[in-house]
Amino acid sequence: MLKRLLYLSASLLLATVLMASERSIYDFTMNSIDGKPTPLSTFKGNAVLVVNVASRCGFTPQYSALESVYEKYKDRGFVIIGFPANNFGSQEPGTNAEIKTFCSTKYNVTFPMMSKISVKGDDQAPLYKYLTDKQANPQTGGDIQWNFTKFLVGRDGHIVARFEPKVTPDSPEVTTAIEKALASK
């Protein structure tokens, strides 16, 4: 009986791990900055850069580079999705409307922006639980340390690279990875 119970427990654990590894960003629906449900499957077939952003951070000027990279690659099937978060130093205190106005007037942001979420802690958004899950994503998982952490997702919806905040969106490291993701079908 104990042997059967151990076998059953091991089988359930393996099934859970396999199911988690089969997930992708396409399994999530987030709200747009305007509050409209947006299934991330809308971006299926594109290479996607997922970024947690903030308006009052030392890295906030990266919005310019994000927009520039978006403009450079968007016609080739590339999307950036910004996720405002107030997890670090209260650097994103605004409402969604204030964030949208700030991004469009100060940085001319045209890439999709989502509603403000939490990227760590007890109220962490399910998408970020997936992105940071070390079991499901051993190469790219781990807690978000600060604003402007970037996850590059391949056309299949799976994470292919992670870039920490100091790595700018227009750095050769990021653009080379984007080119590679765009070349994959």
Radius of gyration of the chain (CA): 17
CA distance 27 to 25: 5
Strand intervals (E) in the chain? 29-31, 37-39, 47-53, 78-84, 150-153, 159-163
| Contact (CB, 8 A) for 152 and 47 | yes
Other CB atoms within 10 A of residue 144 CB: 23
DSSP per-residue codes, 100-154: HHHHHHHH---S-BB--B-SSSTT--HHHHHHH-TTT-TTT-S---STT-EEEE-
Which one of 57, 65, 167, 182 is the catalytic residue? 57
Residues in the chain: 185
| Contact (CB, 8 A) for 130 and 25 | yes
| Contact (CB, 8 A) for 155 and 180 | no
Active site residue 57: yes
Query: Which of the residues are catalytic?
Result: 57
